Structure 1
Amino acid sequence: MTSFNRKSIKIISYSFYIVLLDQVTKFLVLNTLGFQRSQNIIPNLLNLTLVRNSGAAFSLLSNSTSLLTIISILASLLLITVILRFPPRSKWNLIGLAYLLGGTLGNGIDRLFKGYVLDFLDLVPINFPIFNVADISINIALICFTIDIIKTKDKSQLKY
Structure 2
Amino acid sequence: MIFIVDAILIIAVVAADQLVKSWIVMNIGLGATHQVIPGILSLTNIRNDGAAWSILEGKTFFFYLITIVAVGVLGYFLYRTRGQWLYQISLSFMLAGALGNFIDRIRLKYVVDMFQLDFINFPIFNVADFALTIGVILLFIAILREDHLEG
The TM tier, using the shorter chain, reads: over 0.9
Structure having the higher Rg:
1
For 2:120, which of 116, 121, 126 is the aligned residue? 126
Return the alpha-carbon distance in structure 2 between the equivalents of residues 82 and 92 of structure 1. 12
Identical pairs, percent: 34
Q: Identify unmatched segments of 5+ residues in structure 1.
A: 1-5
Match of 1:38 in 2: 33
- Runs of 4+ residues deviating >4 angstroms: none
- Letter paired with 2:58: N
Match of 2:75 in 1: 80
Where do 1:16-27 residues align within 5 Å?
A: 16-27=11-22
TM-score (norm 1): 0.89
For 1:146, which of 136, 140, 149 is the aligned residue? 140
- SS at structure 2 position matched to 1:47: strand
The alpha carbon displacement at 1:30 in A equals 0.7
Bigger drift between 69-78 and 38-47 goes to 69-78
- Letter paired with 2:44: T
User: Contact 1:54–1:117 (CA<8 Å) still a contact in 2?
Assistant: yes
User: Contact 1:90–1:148 (CA<8 Å) still a contact in 2?
Assistant: no
Q: Identify unmatched segments of 5+ residues in structure 2.
A: none
- SS at structure 1 position matched to 2:44: strand
TM-score (norm 2): 0.94
